[in-house]
Each structure stands twice: as C-alpha cells, then as structure tokens.
Structure 1
Amino acid sequence: MAKEPKKLDEVGEAYLADDAKVQSVSHEFSLPPQVVWNALLDGETWTKWLPITKVEWTSPKPFGVGTTRTVWIGKQVVEEVFFAWDEGRRMAFRFDRTTLPLKAGVEDYQVHPTADGCRMDWYFRAKAPLFLGPLISGQMKSGLRKGLPKLEAYIRENPEKFGLA
C-alpha cells in the first residue's frame, strides 16, 4: 500500500532568507531566457533532466501564485504550492504534502538574461529529522548541478518544443 503524503510546515519567502541554510546552484545557458522558461513549464521535460518520474500541473493556466503541482520521484510524491511567480523569470514553491521524510521544503528557480543567453539560479532549503536535512539538501544540490546541463542538451535536441526553432 502506498504511503499517504503528510502535511509539511507552511514556509515561503522568509524561509529562504537564511543564506547559511540555503543550497544554491547556477547554470549559464547559451539559450534565450524564454526558451529555458518554456522548458520549466513543461511537465514531461522535468523527467528528462532530474530523477523525477512524473510532473502534473494540478492548476489550470495561467500559472501564478497559488498554482499547485504534484511531482513523483519513484514511489515518493511531493505536492507543491507556488508562493512566488514572475512570468518568464521566477517560480518558487513550498512542499505542501509529501511522502519524503521532511518537515519543510522550498525550491526557487530564477531565470536571468545575460549577454550570451541566460543564467538559471536555483535555491533550496529543507528541514528534516536528525541528519536527513543536510543529506537531502546535498542530494538535491548534486542533482541540480548534474541535471542542468542535461536540461540544456534536451532543449537543443527538441528546439521546436520550446520555441527555439
């Protein structure tokens, strides 16, 4: 029988304010910012660059603050609620309910134009029992660092899907 997701602490913008506890990764893309943003909006694409098995947007478009999404990582599930949305530039969400051993979690994706394309900055903070917080945070950071080049390659392999063609 599948585990039932449990409700986590409702955290948001202020939870990201403690730089000492926030993990971050940046990646330079030689792609236009809108193309990278389009990839972030496509649920299937997330499964191509991270160890995610499925992403389902559970709110109708247009997306914004209050949008919900469910993500599956193997048998684990994370239900997300977006607390920040700046179309084409930023999406940030908290983990609302999950089967993962967490008490709180936040991810923040920011896309910034650069002279040669754009830079994506990712920020993450989690709270978990005992030693699991640093372990999960480290795994997330490693996954993003390895995944972002895969995202760039996937966009290049599918230019029409993201408005690059």
Structure 2
Amino acid sequence: MPWFALERFDPSFFDTAPHLHRFPIDLPVAPHSVWEGLAGPTPLSWCRGLAAGRYTSPVPHGVGTTREVTAGRILRLHEEFVHWDEGRRHAFCATRATLPLYRRFGEDYRLEPLPGGGTRLTWTFAYEPSPLLRRPAALTGAPGAAFLRTLVADTKRHFGAA
C-alpha cells in the first residue's frame, strides 16, 4: 500500500487552517476519565469509524510521540503529537496517509472541568485538502465532514452524554 507524505505544522494551525471543525462536547464524567480514553493505550476505541489506534512510541508520551490509526477502514494515518499537556490537551499532525486526501491534517483535544462536575471536550479537526480536493472541500466541507460528526456522536454515547 503506498503512503503519501503530509506537511507538518505547529499548534497554530488549529486556529489558521483553511478548514476547521470544532466540536465542544459536554460529558458527564471527570476529566481524568476522558483523558484516559483519549490518551490511554487504546485511544478512541469507542469510535466505530476508527480501528487499530496504537502508539508507535514508548511511554511516557509527549510532544514527538507517534501513533497510527485507521479511519473508515480505508485510510491509515501516521500521526505525530505537536502539543501534549498531560491531562488537559494534546494535538497531532498527520505525517503520512494511505490516501492523498490532505495536504495537512490534524486534531486537537482540549479538556476543561465543568462547574458542578463533568468535562468539556473541545475536539478540533483542522485540515487543508490536497490540491485535487480543494474545490470540492470548499463547496461541501468534504472530505469527511459527516464522518467527523459520527466520531463526536460515538464519543457522546460512550461517555453517556445526551
């Protein structure tokens, strides 16, 4: 299977990307429980559209940690973390993919305790489509906007959010 290189970026891309999908999700569980699901040994295991999420770097994890995940059974991504604030935030940029969908792609996960208990997870997907998909993305939000919403729905269901 061929691999396509993506451009690396720093955390500022999560504010400046051509396409940003930001999902604030209020969850009725403590931040440490959400963090364990996001950063533990089987990250995002509850998401039906993701498989084989595994770290390819030894613990302890931090900036520079690498991970591999399969999305939608057809897209494999190698990821490198560009931000890691234990228990509160981590963010990655994809460095390689098995489909040439993106020029740059990454995700940012931020956790904040809610007054009275629970956690606000703000999950941001940031990307710049490949030149081939630039126009369709501008018109439709593709590639993958509907897929991103299923990840959010799976997360709400997993943590018991309404």
TM-score (norm 2): 0.84
Q: Mark the runs of 5 or more structure 1 residues left unpaired by the alignment.
A: 154-165
Relative to structure 1, the CA distance from residue 97 to residue 66 in structure 2 (aligned partners, 3 Å threshold; closer, same or farther) is: same
Name the counterpart of 2:148: 141
Relative to structure 1, the CA distance from residue 113 to residue 104 in structure 2 (aligned partners, 3 Å threshold; closer, same or farther) is: same
Contact 1:25 1:145 in 2 (8 A): yes
* Amino acid across the alignment from 2:65: T
Cα RMSD for the two superposed structures:
1.9
Name the counterpart of 1:123: 124
Residues 34-74 of structure 1: per-residue CA shift (max 9 Å, x gap): 11101112343523224012111001111100000000121
- Where 1:108 maps in the other structure, the secondary structure is strand
The reply to whether residue 70 of structure 1 matches residue 77 of structure 2 is no
Contact 1:24 1:121 in 2 (8 A): yes
Further displaced range: 107-116 or 19-28: 19-28
Q: Greater helix share, 1 or 2?
A: 1
Name the counterpart of 2:107: 107
Q: Give the Å deviation of 1:5.
A: 1.6
TM-score (norm 1): 0.82
Q: Mark the runs of 5 or more structure 2 residues left unpaired by the alignment.
A: none
* Amino acid across the alignment from 1:93: F
Provide the identity percentage: 25
Relative to structure 1, the CA distance from residue 11 to residue 20 in structure 2 (aligned partners, 3 Å threshold; closer, same or farther) is: closer
Distance in 2 separating the partners of 1:15 and 1:140: 21
